[in-house]
Amino acid sequence: MLAELSVQIVKPQVWVGLALTAMFAYAIYRFGRLLIRTLSPHIHRGLPGILRWVWLLIVSVSWLAVATFVTYLPSVPVLFELGRDITQGFRHSTGQLIVVAAMALIAWNLIGTLASRIVAEQEFNRRSVRVRTLKGVVKSTLRVVVVIISAIAALQAIGLNATSLLAGVSVLGLAVGFGAQSLIKDVFNGFFILLEDQYGVGDVITINTGQLSGGVERLNLRVTALRALDGTMHIIPNGQIQTVSVSSKDWSRVVADVDVTYDANVDEALKVLQAVSTELHESPEWQHFFLEEPEVQGVVQLAPDGVTLRALYKVQPKSQWALGREFNRRIKIAMDEAGIDIPFPQRSVNFGSTPIEIRLTRDDLPAPPPAKDISTQDRRKPPVEPSLGRDPEEEEI
C-alpha cells in the first residue's frame, strides 16, 4: 500500500481530487448539522449531541473511503470499494442534488460570515456610510447569485436542459419586463444612488422636498428605508425618489438665530452673541465638532416682533442639532445676564369706532411672586447631559 501511495501522491490530479472531495465532504457535513439543528426542538434533549457525533463519523469514514478511491489504492479493499460505490452514487441525480444543496449552504453561510467581518468605523463619515451601505447590497446580491446558480445546477442534476429552459425564461422575462417598468426604474435609480454615493445608511435625508424625512436605516437597489424620529419606518421605492436633501453630507451648519426687542441695545446684543459663539467654540465638550471658527453675521432681519441676529457654525455632519440646542440654552442665559429681552409676539387690537365702557374695580390681590434669581445659572455647565440626537425635520412628526 505504501508503494502505491508513494506513486499516486505525486500526481497533481490526485491532490486536486482530494481537495475537491474534502470540500464536498465539509459541505455535506454542514448540511447535516443544519438538519440536526432544525430537528433539535422536536426530539429528545440528548439525542442531537449523539447525532452530531454519528454524522461526523459517517462523513469522515466516507471521505476517507472516497480519498482511497481517488488516490487509487486497491490494496485497501474495504475502503476502496466503499469509495467507488459512494463516487458512483454521487454521479446520479440524488447525489448531485445533495452536493448542490450542501455547496449552496456553504456559500450562503460564507457570504454572511465574510459580511459580518466587514465592520464600519464608529465615527460618522462618508467612508463608514459607504461601507455600511455596500455591505448590505453586496451581501443580498451575492446571495441572489448563489440561489440562481444553485437552481440551475439542480435542474441540470435532475436531467433538465438548463440552457433551453433559460432561453424560455429570458423570453418570458422580456415580456414581464414591459409590465414591470417601475421595478426596473427602482433598480436603475438605486444603482446610481450607490454609484454616486448620493446618500447611504446612517444619513439623515428628506425625500421629495419635505414629503418624508428620517435616518436611512436600509438601502438596496430597490428601496430606501427611512426611520422617522417617532420610530415610524418609511419604505420608499427608489424609482419614486425625485429629489433628496441630505442633512449629513460631508459637513453641516448651525444657523444660530436669536431675536431681541427693538428697545434692546443691538450692539450689546451682538457682543453677547459673539461671546457665546466663542465660548461654545472653545468649550472642550463641543470644540471637536467645529470645522471652522464661528461667523457672526450681525443683524439679518427687522422682524415685526424684534430684531434678528445671526451666527453661523460650520460643524461635523449630524452634530448641528445638538450644537443648536446647546446654543439656545447658553444664549438665553447670557441674554438674561446682560438684561437684554428676547421678544414675544406683539399685536395691536382695534375695536373700531364703537365706544367701550370700562369699569375699574379693586380687590385684595396676593403679593406678586418674587423675581426669579438668574444669577445661579451657569451656561457653561448644563444641568443635564446634552443629547447628541437629531431634531425632527419639518413635517416629520
pLDDT in tens, 136-146: 777 777 888 88
**Identity of the amino acid at 397:** I
Q: Long-range contact list for 28-33, CB < 8 A, 24+ apart?
A: 28/59, 28/98, 28/99, 28/102, 29/55, 29/56, 29/59, 30/102, 30/105, 30/106, 30/109, 31/98, 31/101, 31/102, 31/105, 32/59
For residue 83, the Cα-to-chain-centroid distance in whole angstroms is 49
- Structure confidence at residue 33 (pLDDT): 81
Q: Provide mean pLDDT across the span 113-122.
A: 67
pLDDT in tens, 15-29: 787 888 888 788 778
Between β-strands 233-237 and 244-246, what pairing exists: parallel, antiparallel or unpaired?
A: unpaired
Q: Provide mean pLDDT across the span 279-288.
A: 91
Tell whether pTM > 0.85.
Answer: no
Only one residue has cell 437629531, namely 390
CA distance 329 to 384: 11
> Has residue 297 got a pLDDT over 60?
yes
- Structure confidence at residue 126 (pLDDT): 60
**Identity of the amino acid at 209:** T
Q: What kind of fold does domain 187-246 have according to CATH?
A: SH3 type barrels. (2.30.30)
> Has residue 394 got a pLDDT over 60?
no
Q: What is the dihedral of CA 328, 334, 335, 338, to 10 degrees?
A: 180
Domain ranges of the chain: 2-91, 112-179, 187-246, 252-338
**The CATH number of 252-338 is which of 3.30.70.1450, 1.20.1250.20, 3.30.70.100, 1.10.4190.10?**
3.30.70.100
- Structure confidence at residue 280 (pLDDT): 93
pLDDT in tens, 320-357: 999 999 999 999 999 999 999 888 776 666 666 666 66
For residue 286, the Cα-to-chain-centroid distance in whole angstroms is 26
Helices then strands, counting H and E runs in the chain, come out as: 10, 8
